[in-house]
Amino acid sequence: MDDEWICGRFAEDEPWALGAVNPPVFENSVFTFETAEELGEAIRNEDERYVYWRGTNPTVDLAQRKLAALERGERAKCFGSGMGAISATISSLVSAGDHVLVLGAVYGPTTQFLRYLEKFGVTHTHVEDLAAADSAITASTRLLYFESPSYMAYAVVDIAGVAAWARERGLVTVMDNTWSTPLFQKPLTMGVDLVVHSLSKYVGGHSDLVGGVVVGPKRLIRPLALTEYQLYGAAMSPHDAARVIKGLRTLPVRMAAHQERGLAVAAFLDDHPAVRAVNHPGLPSHPGHAIALRQMSGFSSLFSLVLDTDSRQEVAAFLNKLRHFRIGVSWGGFESLVNAPALSTEESVRVAMGIPVGLVRLSVGLEPADTLIKDLGLALEELRA
């Protein structure tokens, strides 16, 4: 099925939509039944039946069906935040005494959650590559978690190779695919077991939504939906689901524009003498570019550069000089954003993650590329002065 059709019209012609061009938002918290027997059957299958808002409702379910179709997965479960999806997914796969392998750099709060699980007897090890993973795997390892492109460094891994390595060793794989969106990369088709996303980023697309999703086979999603989803209470609201649905309608158009503008800005920075490196997988100079071309159909506009400085003061001055890039966290909306981990991340964490002092993350929005390039150019020239 065509991705643009999935984003725009797939599953929107349900009888309950009554022909409305925007699917209705079901605000009710409770659904009732004709008989006690029907209620009992519905509760036993609350991952698919409408019983109580904490389980699911038609608006949320429509968003889930679209996201599952985009990722080529059997089922999807939407959460009230990206971390809601990540924490529930990891929790559903491990028990006390289990061990998790983390490949490459991943989202900071994900690492924080894995550290939190240590109090329940779940341990984890960070490894840089599969060679190191071979040495770190133990008899109690159950899960391999990774991102591609990776957090902050935007390194690219061979997804099919990683999935095959894990499968041979009996590990479940979970991959964060937020950077690429389901349009530009489909890890499930490359052997990954479960995919997670922050829907707050490109899928929502307008910085007015916080949400997350996990997508995968029914055998893994159903127990998660009946247990962790229900017990953690990180339910997505129907209003946020409606924003997801609207965001998906324009996602193909927006991602094409993000790709174009992001690559234009990255190419400018790649040739600038005040920049030591640009970490964008879409650039031919990126070490993982060849792998990216093989497993991705496009590139988003989130990437990092390393300024030619080791001074926090100069990094801060560079950010403060920018006029069209707003200083802030998150990404994927219309507005262009910038931040620098060295100015906000604990020093020991920064060093452990291998993040240079001069690393700056850019989220290129949908403003004209020439305007953004001029803004960066002026700030860089002042850095060199």
Query: So which residues are the catalytic ones?
Result: 54, 107, 176, 201
On the CB side of 134, CA atoms within 13 Å amount to 5
**Residue of 149, 148, 133 whose CA lies nearest to 100:** 133
Q: For residue 131, count other CB atoms closer than 10 A to its CB.
A: 9
Amino acid at 293: L
Beta strands in 80-153 (DSSP E): 99-103, 123-127, 141-147
Residues constituting the chain: 385
What are the residues whose beta carbons fall under 8 Å from the beta carbon of 4, sequence distance 6 or more?
A: 252
d(CA 52, CA 302): 37
Contact between 359 and 306 (Cβ < 8 Å): yes
Beta strands in 221-312 (DSSP E): 275-279, 302-307
In three-state form (DSSP H/G/I as H, E/B as E, the rest C), the secondary structure along 254-291 is HHHHHHHHHHHHHHHHHCCCCEEEEECCCCCCCCCHHH
Contact between 195 and 71 (Cβ < 8 Å): yes
Tokens (6 digits) for 279: 């970490």
What are the residues whose beta carbons fall under 8 Å from the beta carbon of 264, sequence distance 6 or more?
A: 369, 373
Q: How far is CA 364 from the centre of its chain?
A: 16
For helices 218-226 and 82-93, the axis angle rounded to 10 degrees is 100
- Helix-, strand-, coil-residue percentages of the chain, each rounded to 5: 45, 15, 40
Torsion (CA) 52, 55, 57, 61 in degrees, nearest 10: -170
Tokens (6 digits) for 198: 């922050």
